[in-house]
């Protein structure tokens, strides 16, 4: 790679040990991907949950923090593996919390904004069109690349914080214009999309796209940001979609030909039957088996989604033999509280949790074997993390299962 004098100085250690180590990792990864140079980034979003990072993640982040590392660009952090305020209520073992707290101390020492959110693009870390950023978290990456038109690869743990500290990332993959062109066309013929349909469509397109970039025809122009968020989460978890182009919706499909003047390599038609088939495939539980826990909020709930749940929960309360857990950011929780949405729902028996989610926290301690969710991402990832069976239903179905009139 061709490095600037400043980058060479970083490598030689003249900016301290953390910067040296970070630059060494960036250069070695850049060389392995054939990058020719490092490029500046406008922001970073890093992983910081113990459930995936384990002791090696703690050691690495603490080493960078002790070595004087400090984020040079605005940097936010994905959800934690524990709710820092409610971990006792959620039965998280104390030693597990201690591990997460070490990660918390390290990221805060590194100057990371402690959002503990997978939706930083909704408030605190909002990139602009065309900006290079270095983000981790598949659902946030899909949103930033596709809906906003910022540029990031699926930045792995380790590289994310190194990019944040140096303000640089190797130029390869989706940072390069020609690599952002679509090669597959999905022709969606569905009337009356429901919220669940967007999750499911994301799962279908993600599972069929492999490493290719999908272009999607037939998404209605009135799709909401929340629906795009859920679509991208499904696509990024059922496959490795980091960027999609929705014709007439996403910026790179509006401003230019998303195929770059070429013909699609393959065309897939998607209809209502395909959605039903994917819904059936995602639901792995025996339909007659008792549901132990219903969870909403993957990706973390927005205020509009919270309002919709509030409306649907009128005159209902959580069943005695059921847990109903909803995950959201701390900001959304506080706004919901100010709007009078939270207290009645808590009184009705819902447990809210902030800064974490069911997928990355140790839900296993509860011994649940059957979980219901309205999120394709949660449904696809939770079973591998927690050894549970899944029923996948829309929000109405989840509420009806979790609650009773009251
Ligand atoms: Fe966010 Fe957790 Fe889902 S990090 S996207 S709520 S798996």
Q: Is the pLDDT at 386 greater than 90, yes or no?
A: no
Name the residue with the closest Cα to ligand 1, atom 5. Answer: 299
Question: What separation in Å is there between the alpha carbon of 76 and the centre of ligand 1?
Answer: 15
Ligand 1 atom 7 nearest Cα? 359
Predicted pLDDT at 106: 98
The per-residue pLDDT of the chain, averaged, comes to 97
- 122 in ligand 1 pocket by Cβ < 6 Å? no
Topology annotation, domain 5-177: Aconitase; domain 3 (3.30.499)
pTM for the model stands at 0.97
Phi-psi group of 331: left, alpha or beta (phi > 0 → left; psi -120 to 50 → alpha; rest → beta): alpha
* Atom of ligand 1 lying closest to residue 118 CA: 1
Of the CA atoms within 13 Å of residue 372, those in its CB half-sphere come to 23
What pLDDT is recorded for position 296?
98
What percent of the chain stands above pLDDT 90?
98
CA of 210 relative to ligand 1 center, distance in Å: 21
State the average pLDDT over residues 106-120: 98
CATH number attached to the domain at 181-271: 3.40.1060
341 in contact with ligand 1, CB cutoff 6 A = no
The b/e string for 348-387 (b: 16+ C-beta within 10 A; e otherwise) is bbbbbbbbbbbbbbbbeeeebebbbbbbbbbbbbbbebbe
Mean pLDDT computed over 264-292: 97
Give me the mean pLDDT over the 262-270 stretch: 97
The pLDDT assigned to 125 comes to 97
Nearest CA to ligand 1 atom 1: 299
Overall average pLDDT of the 298-325 stretch: 98
User: 360 in ligand 1 pocket by Cβ < 6 Å?
Assistant: yes
- CA angle 384–388–393, rounded 5-degree value: 100
Q: What is the pLDDT of residues 6-27, one digit of tens each?
A: 999 999 999 999 999 999 999 9
Confidence of residue 385 (pLDDT cuts 50, 70, 90): confident
- pLDDT above 90 (res 335): yes
Percent of the residues in the chain that have a pLDDT greater than 70, as a whole number: 100
Q: CB–CB of 208/234 below 8 Å? A: no
Ligand 1 atom showing the smallest separation from residue 359 Cα: 7
pLDDT at 387: 86
Tell me the CA–centroid distance for residue 406 and ligand 1, in Å: 31
Decide whether any atom of ligand 1 lies within 6 Å of the 202 Cβ: no
Q: What are 125-184's pLDDT values in tens digits?
A: 999 999 999 999 999 999 999 999 999 999 999 999 999 999 999 999 999 999 999 999
- Note the pLDDT tens digit of each residue in 53-112: 999 999 999 999 999 999 999 999 999 999 999 999 999 999 999 999 999 999 999 999
Unique residue bearing structure tokens 């506080």: 334
Looking up tokens 């706004």, which residue turns up? 335
Say which CATH topology domain 283-405 has: Aconitase; domain 3 (3.30.499)
Instruction: Name the residue at shortest CA distance from atom 2 of ligand 1.
Output: 357
* Residue-range domain boundaries for the chain: 5-177, 181-271, 283-405
Per-residue confidence (pLDDT) for residue 240, from 0 to 100: 95
28 has a pLDDT exceeding 90: yes
- For ligand 1, whether the C-beta of 377 sits within 6 Å is yes
Polymer length of the chain: 406
Cα(360) to ligand 1 centroid in Å equals 8
* Within this chain, domains 5-177 and 181-271 share the same CATH topology: no
Instruction: Assess whether pLDDT exceeds 90 at residue 205.
Output: yes
Under 8 Å between Cβ of 171 and 190: no
Specify the ligand 1 atom closest to the Cα of 327: 6
């Amino acid at each position: 790679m061709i490095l600037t004098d400043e980058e060479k100085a970083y490598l030689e250690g003249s900016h301290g040990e953390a910067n040296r180590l970070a630059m060494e990792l960036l250069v070695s990864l850049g060389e392995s991907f054939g990058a020719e140079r490092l490029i500046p980034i406008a922001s970073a979003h890093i992983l910081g949950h113990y459930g995936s990072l384990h002791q090696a993640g703690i050691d690495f982040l603490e080493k960078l923090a002790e070595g004087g590392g400090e984020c040079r660009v605005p940097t936010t952090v994905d959800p934690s593996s524990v709710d820092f305020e409610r971990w006792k209520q959620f039965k998280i073992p104390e030693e597990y919390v201690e591990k997460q707290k070490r990660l918390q101390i390290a990221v805060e020492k590194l100057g990371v904004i402690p959002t503990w959110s997978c939706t930083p693009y909704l408030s605190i870390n909002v990139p602009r069109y065309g900006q290079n950023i270095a983000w981790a978290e598949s659902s946030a990456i899909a949103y930033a690349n596709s809906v906003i038109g910022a540029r990031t690869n699926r930045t792995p743990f380790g590289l994310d914080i190194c990019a944040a500290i140096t303000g640089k990332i190797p130029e390869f993959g989706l940072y390069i214009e020609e690599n952002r062109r679509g090669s597959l066309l999905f022709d969606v013929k569905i009337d009356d999309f429901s919220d669940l349909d967007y999750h499911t469509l994301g799962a279908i397109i993600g599972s069929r796209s492999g490493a290719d970039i999908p272009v999607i025809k037939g998404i209605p122009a009135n799709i909401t940001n929340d629906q795009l968020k859920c679509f991208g989460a499904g696509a990024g978890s059922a496959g490795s979609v980091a960027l999609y182009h929705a014709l007439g919706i996403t910026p790179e499909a509006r401003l230019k030909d998303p195929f770059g003047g070429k013909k699609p390599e393959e065309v897939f038609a998607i209809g209502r039957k395909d959605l039903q088939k994917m819904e059936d495939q995602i639901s792995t539980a025996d339909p007659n088996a008792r549901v132990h826990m219903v969870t909403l909020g993957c990706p973390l709930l927005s205020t509009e989604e919270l309002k919709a749940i509030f409306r649907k929960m009128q005159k209902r309360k959580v069943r005695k033999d059921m847990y109903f857990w909803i995950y959201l950011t701390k900001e959304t929780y506080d706004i919901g509280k100010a709007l009078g949405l939270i207290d009645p729902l808590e009184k009705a028996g819902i447990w809210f949790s902030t800064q974490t989610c069911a997928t990355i926290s140790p839900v296993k301690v509860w011994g649940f074997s059957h979980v219901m969710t309205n999120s394709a991402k949660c449904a696809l990832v939770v079973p591998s993390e927690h050894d549970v069976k899944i029923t996948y239903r829309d929000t109405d179905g989840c509420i009806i299962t979790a609650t009773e009139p009251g």
